[in-house]
Amino acid sequence: MKLLFLGDIVGKSGRDAVLKHLPSLKTTYAPDCIIINAENAAHGFGITKSIAAELFDAGAHVVTSGNHIWDKQEILAYISQEKRVLRPHNYPPHLPGSGICEIETIKGQKVVVINIMGRLFMETLDDPFACIDTLLKPYILGRNAHAIFVDFHAETTSEKQAFCHYVDGRVSGVIGTHTHVPTADERIFPKGTAFQSDAGMCGDYYNSVIGMQVSGSLGKFLKRIPYDRMQPAEGEGTVCGALITLNSNGLASSIERVRAGKPL
């Protein structure tokens, strides 16, 4: 089985890049399941119903998110109805939506997708380590789940790596999101879980600061006073992500970085 994961979509540049390059990625890699983080897809902040529908129409099976999931008011009602759009599961339980869903591939394989957020330099949330223990209780990888994938939305590489060690052998893969910078540390942990600290973003890398316009980002650092909300960069976008290939037991046999569009 092959899982294709694409990192945070940032603005229209990122959306256009995904819609442009996803067909060729599907042809090249023939993934069984496509998972896309789209928490910055709506002009850099949040996601809307129409954007999610666009991604599903393009071939996404599940859309994950992070700390910007609540930036668009309309998501509150939509995420309660659309189970394929995930928010970090360790948000307070009274909030709408969920951080876990099951999908069945066209081959009849069950894929469990989980979205969890870290706590270092992030919002105060429930313990992600305790959260994943609860979520994994019903599943035994390779028996009642052909694959279990985790989008771990976090700031630090140390927390991401520690989390992967904690679930090593219990899930197929853990890929980090949030920093918008693709890392070169993709590998398979000792017990068979694929890992990458950060998949990077789908967006404009060349004339931006992590996907946002340079002027607004510089203003934040130089002026140190209240500033207008930053705007997403609008140049040609690059698609960044990872492909995980699994054995019959649900553990990883390989992981490779995926890029399409303007080279970095």
Binding-site residue set for Fe cation:
8, 39-40, 67, 153, 178, 180
**Residues in CB range of 187: below 8 A, 6 or more apart:** 194, 195, 196, 255
Q: Has 61 been annotated as catalytic?
A: no
**Residues in CB range of 239: below 8 A, 6 or more apart:** 6, 17, 18, 21, 22, 25, 202, 258, 259, 260, 261
Token pair in block for residue 71: 């930036």
Angle of CA points 74, 128, 176, to nearest 5°: 75
Task: Indicate which residue of 21, 61, 68, 146 is catalytic.
Answer: 68
Provide the annotated binding site: 8, 39-40, 67, 153, 178, 180
Q: Are 40 and 9 in contact (CB under 8 A)?
A: yes
**Residues in CB range of 159: below 8 A, 6 or more apart:** 118, 119, 120
Token pair in block for residue 249: 């037991």
| Catalytic residue set | 68
